Each structure stands twice: as C-alpha cells, then as structure tokens.
Amino acid sequence: MDLTQLNDHFAIPGILSFDEHNGLTRANVTTPAAKATIYLQGAHLAAWQPTGQQPVIFMSRKSDFEPGKPIRGGVPIAFPWFAIDRNPNRYKGQPGPSHGFARLQDWTLAFAALSGDDLHLTFTLTPTQMSRDMGFDHFRLAFQLTIGHSLTMQLAVANDAAAPLVFEEAFHTYFEVVDVHEVTVTGLEPTPFIDKTDNMREKPSANAPLTFTGFTDRVYCNTAATCVIHDVAGRRNITVAKTDSNTTVVFNPWKELPDMGPDEWHEMVCVETVNAAANAVTLAPGKTHIMQAHITVEKTKA
C-alpha cells in the first residue's frame, strides 16, 4: 500500500497516521496512554513513550534512515539468524546480512485497532526475492504490537514447508537510559554466559547484578528469566518479561559507531529477547512458534 491507501484503510483520527521519512514509510501513534513510531521497513519500532514517562526506546541520532539499510536503535527484528550469518555461502558466495533479512524488508500492515487506551497493530512478512535467494521460501511472520502504558511485542513464525524450519530470532531492543554507568540489570545473576568481547569464551554466572564498566556483549542461554533495568539516574525501572524466549543478550558498544554518536552509548543499553545459539528453534512443518516480550516502566524514588 502507498501512503494514501494506508491512511485510507488504517488511519484513526488523532491516534494513528502515516507519513514518509527519508523514503521510509512510518506509522505515527498518539494515544491517551503513549506515543510511538513504527517504520514499515523491518516493522521497526523506533519510539515508545508512555504518558508521563521519559522515552523508553533509544534511537541513535546518527542512524541511517535509508531504504535497505539497518536502523540503529529502536527494536530491530532479527530473523532467521542472529548476529553474523554462520553460512559463508548464503548469497552470491557471501554470508547473509547481519541479523538476517527481516529487518531490511518492507512489512505489510494487516490490522490496526484501538481497544481502550491500547493500540493493536499487526505487521506481516512472507517470502520475498531476497529471502528466496537466501533459501527461505516457506515461512510466514506476524509481528503484533500492543502499545499503551505497557508495550507487548509478539513474533509468530509459521513453517509452511514440508521439512523442519530451523531459525534464530530476536527483539534487539535498545533501551534509553540516563547514564549507563549508573545502570544495573537484575534477573541474570544465576546464568552463565558467552562473552563475545572475549573470543566467545563461556563464563560462569556472576551471581550478582550486571553493571557496565566497558564493552559488553553477552549471550545468556537457557534462561526465560524476567530482567529489570535499574535506570538509577533516570529514577525508574524498566522490566522486560518474556515468553517462549530462552536466550537473553545484553549489549553496549562503549564507543562511537559509524551510525551512533560519540556520547550516545552513554544513553543506551540493549536487553534483548532472543532464541539463538543453543536455543535456536526447530519448527515442525505446519507449526507456529510465538515469542513475546512485555515491557513495563515504574518510577522510583530519588
């Protein structure tokens, strides 16, 4: 659908509208409970701010907003692999794009409705020429968002093939914080992790809240635990509860990136809802797998 068709079919006056930013179509949400922005490329949530709260989702001010380029920040959807493609000959003798093809494709808005103060949106993705070229021709994705005082993200993967579908998936969520030096993350204390900053070494559980003192890129497997981001300087806690996700990834680059400014890493931390590595999903023919993250925000006292 073009912009006119989207607004004709799905716009809700004063609540939901569609426009274009640097060649990318986006949905703009303003409800009594929250504001949000979603780009159709990647079904990419770029902003969520509950009423009376500071923004919860971080977006790099240097992010590329160009068709076919990844967006830095927000909630990239990784599918059908997480991080670097381990198939060296995926496409034209090269690995596929980092975090898969789903975040580079235009998704289709299939449903939009307001229920109380919550806006419900569903975006879908089916095989494209890009996915077929990479060997994925029999799948369907549906990404459901419930936007309100809390945020629920749900990714359904259906296998339409005659053989099992093996995939990884992630909500690569960038959370906005006031100062990462004053952030702790609880919920992962008992869980060992793979340290991607130290040659993928497997390390024992810390048995203590996670704090940030340098480049952090950790893969915690075999955990369905709820995590809490204690944004001490921001005087709030951000809780990430998840369903049918058995991997959690925590990331901060601790430096400037080509699409992230020199001081922006101070203002973000990724706590990601994932199924990857040992927790990759093997989905039987005709079956559907659903992964969900539910995010809430609570103010704390000084």
pLDDT (tens digit per residue) in 272-282: 999 999 999 99
Percent of the chain with pLDDT over 70: 100
Residue 232 neighbours by CB under 8 Å, 6+ apart: 182, 183, 184
Q: Which residue has the tokens 């992010």?
A: 63
Counted domains in the chain = 1
> Is the predicted pLDDT of residue 223 greater than 70, yes or no?
yes
Question: Of 44, 46, 45, 41, whose CA–CA distance to 106 is shortest?
Answer: 41
Burial status of residue 146 (CB atoms within 10 A of its CB: 0-12, 13-18, 19 or more) = middle
Stretch 50-76: mean pLDDT: 96
Band of pLDDT at residue 284, cut at 50, 70 and 90: very high
266 is catalytic: no
Of 44, 99, 172, 230, which residue is the catalytic one?
A: 172
- The per-residue pLDDT for 128 is 97
Say yes or no to pLDDT of 219 above 80.
yes
pLDDT (average), residues 153-176: 98
| Confidence at residue 1, expressed as pLDDT on a 0 to 100 scale | 86
Dihedral sign, CA of 261, 300, 227, 170?
A: negative
Q: Is the pLDDT of residue 42 over 70?
A: yes
Q: Is 256 a catalytic residue?
A: no
Token reading at 219: 């893969």
Question: What pLDDT does 301 receive?
Answer: 85
Tell me the mean pLDDT in the region 210-223: 98
Q: Which residues contact 251 (CB under 8 A, 6 or more apart)?
A: 216, 217, 218, 269, 270, 272
What pLDDT sits at residue 27?
98
% of the chain residues with pLDDT over 90? 98
**Contact status, residue 245 vs residue 273, Cβ threshold 8 Å:** yes
Q: What is the CATH number of the domain that holds 243?
A: 2.70.98.10
Give the closest residue to 49 by CA, choosing from 57, 38, 40, 61: 57
pLDDT at residue 302 above 80? no
Model confidence over 73-101: pLDDT tens digits? 999 999 999 999 999 999 889 999 999 99
pLDDT at 64: 87
* Helix spans in the chain (H): 3-10, 129-133
Domain limits for position 149: 3-299
Mean pLDDT of 117-124: 98
Q: Which two tokens stand for residue 209?
A: 């809240």
How does the average pLDDT of the chain come out, rounded? 97
Q: What is the pLDDT of residues 15-40, one digit of tens each?
A: 999 999 999 999 999 999 999 999 99
Residue 172 pLDDT class (50, 70, 90 cuts): very high
Nearest partner of 188 among 246, 253, 275, 266, judged by Cα: 246
**Which is the catalytic residue, given 168, 169, 264, 272?**
272
